[in-house]
Amino acid sequence: MRRLRVGCGFTLVEVMVVVGVLLVLMSLCIQGLVRAKIAANETATLGAMKTIYAAVEIYRQREGSYPRVMADMTAAGGADPAYIVDELDTAGTGRPRAGYNFHYLRPGGGMPAFFVLASPGRRGLQGIRLFYIDEDGVIRSSLGSFTNEAAARAWPAVSGG
């Protein structure tokens, strides 16, 4: 007959403390990963905004006017050669690019001649800021919401943008 050894192993309280500490550490790591993902998405969005701006200006120089919609600059929209990759036309694909949706608009009747608004697909998880660029080529950002292009022109410029 075997005897049970008393005092070997861990008590339930000790195991619960270790599990609690591990959960706290995991939650801190996940928050850091989400912040890093948001920063990466916003950086990729800034690059995409510069690409879209350059494509719009090249299109204007070649065609004599600004494109009606962003799809006019893609291969899927019939552009030959394409000015931007199809994936940047998030309105056409229905999928965000780097967590952001890009909206190309031509308000008509003056300034701006066009503008591009980038908004996060899921705010707080994929991005925090809104980005705006028009024919002046300055990328602006806001933590608020988009009301109109005149208000967006007053947003602060993104450093390096």
pLDDT score, position 7: 65
pLDDT of residue 131: 95
The CA radius of gyration of the chain, in Å to the nearest whole number, is 25
Residues 6 or more apart from 143 whose CB is under 8 A from it? 128, 129, 130
What 3-state class would DSSP assign to 116?
Answer: strand
**What does the domain layout of the chain look like in residue ranges?**
12-152
pTM of the predicted model as reported, rounded to 2 decimal places: 0.79
The whole-number pLDDT of residue 4 equals 61
Write down the pLDDT at residue 143: 92
Give the span between the Cα atoms of 31 and 52, in whole angstroms: 31
Low-confidence stretches of the chain (pLDDT < 70) are: 1-7, 92, 109-111, 159-161
pLDDT of residue 147: 85
pLDDT at residue 54 in the model: 93
